Amino acid sequence: MNRTESKILDPNDLEFVLYDWLKVDELTSLPRYAEHSRETFDEVIDLTRRIAEEYFQPHSRTSDLDEPHLVDGAVRIVEDVKTALDAFAGAGLISATMDEQVGGFQLPHVVYRAASMWLQAANIGTSAYPLLTTAAANLIRAYADPELVERYLPPMADGRWFGTMNLSEPGVGSSLGDLDTVAQRQEDGTYRLRGEKMWISGGDHELSENIVHLVLARTGGAGTRGLSLLIVPKWLGEPGALTQRNDVSLVGLNHKMGFRGTVNTALSYGSGAYPVGDGSGAVGYLIGEEGHGLAYMFHMMNEARLAVGASAAALAVTGYLHAREYARGRVQGRDLAAKDPSLPPVPIIRHPDVRRMLLESKAYAEGSVALVLYTTRLLDLAQTSADSSARANADLLVDVLTPIAKSWPSQWGVEADDLAIQIHGGSGYVRDFPVEQFYRDNRLNDIHEGTHGIHALDLLGRKVRLADGAGLALLVDAMTDTARRADALGSDLAPLLAVRVARLVDVTRALWADGDPVSALANASEYLDAAGDLVVAWLLLDQVLAVQGRTDQFAEGKRLTTRFFFLHVLPRVDAQLDLLASGDRMLADLDESLI
């Protein structure tokens, strides 16, 4: 692996996480990955890094300043975006995790996720197009009828057609049960769609031959049970013979504070702007069965949630690396103990408060990377392990960890970038330095694929209660095992984790003791915060065990970062657990007119 230093990602930490800690090379013992080796994993990561450095990073600022815009009704995007996407697709990376039968490498998801973080850190706006396409293609492969798979999967896997997900609508937001877009079945088996969709990333552009929209639309009654999922392409026809424009029209562009390189759109289906034949409405093709649309969409949403967590982690890492370099080179002030004003000023990394900010951002960055890649490795086991019990347990753990893996990096990765700005001082707020863009880009991740509050409700309201709490029990067992092993080695941090994990179990049980969801979920975000901090503390401590016996600088850095997190960050969990244990209902019962 190319271990030379970079300000995009830390290749040494990535190598440690994958091989010394997660031991992803052991996945090659599974039949699906038997043709792989550490060498092939490294080749993919090195290739992706080169593409990130040569094609993605150079236009990151350009596509931020010259964001997608309309010219004569068409979306115009800086040319370097297409050049980068062509390089990525040309390397076969869009289909890297797919089956060999469709041209894929059957690469483990955890290796692909780690490799993709190079792209996300280098240029989050451009990286969104292929990552969305991969997720859409995976959904089609999993649930669509064979003829649809045969038509849509190959050009998407090749990067000739891009994919999107269409959920939200104006005025609906995340309340998907209230969606109004309607799909009506036709005599020929196709559907005609009418409705408006909002916040569609990659919804319209000229970067690919076609855009394959996956649209959640109502085919039945009210609520989520009336929703179905349909393929609605921008152009109708076969690959290489796209002869008819579908009735999908661009209403306008949304201009976000970050992710500016990713065109974000409002779309209209069936407006009549591009009528098809004698009928009205956009032509769509049903995926699977009617009424199961939301369940199918969760396949793409869960993949996207891990991708969002990874993007937040990647942006946190690059922000930290830029801040560290700046702190080492920026000379200002003198040591606290210096009495002589004639002494030369020192690099600001010598100041305790700058060290605090650097260590905090480092902990958030490395903790986020650990969380996302640990969860993704579990996903590989859940899908490919030969042991049915191991598959089931890994699947339960993925369910419990996914809301944390999406939300914790999204919440604290942006804090890492905020700290990076602060370390830069006044320079952090100007465009001469990229940290202000990292912050703007990362701030969106707390909203992408579900807000922090939505994932808090998911974790406390559903995930920790799945299978009578079996998933939470598995997580607690893993955390307790790490604390036990660390304690046996004399770690003074192990008890700080163990006592709080035990309390989380007690608080979870107490919250649901009377079965009242209002009382249980009134402070769900506090629960997600506390659980996330505990999970990350566990993973950092587990990484310390992986460097046991080592005295090199990297290992000492791991120990320092973990100790900082335990002593400076983890104590905030106590106040959160206190609030949860109190049964406080203020937010559920207050008179909103007083706010």
464/341 Cα distance (integer angstroms)? 58
Give the residue numbers marked as catalytic: 449
Residues 196 and 292 sit within 8 Å (Cβ to Cβ): no
Mapped to the 3 state alphabet, what secondary structure does 457-505 carry? HHHHHCHHHHHHHHHHHHHHHHHHHHHHHHHHCCCCCHHHHHHHHHHHH
DSSP result, 428-445: GGSTTSTHHHHHHHHHGG
Strands 161-166 and 182-185, how do they pair? unpaired
Q: Tokens in use for 282?
A: 């956009």
| Strands of 360-452, DSSP E | none
Residues 139 and 170 sit within 8 Å (Cβ to Cβ): no
Output the CA torsion sign for 102, 107, 108, 114.
Answer: negative
Residues 266 and 197 sit within 8 Å (Cβ to Cβ): yes
Amino acid at 549: G
Task: Report phi then psi at 453, rounded to 5.
Answer: -65, -35
Q: In 3D, which of 510, 509, 480 has the Cα closest to residue 495?
A: 480
Q: Tokens in use for 340?
A: 């002589």
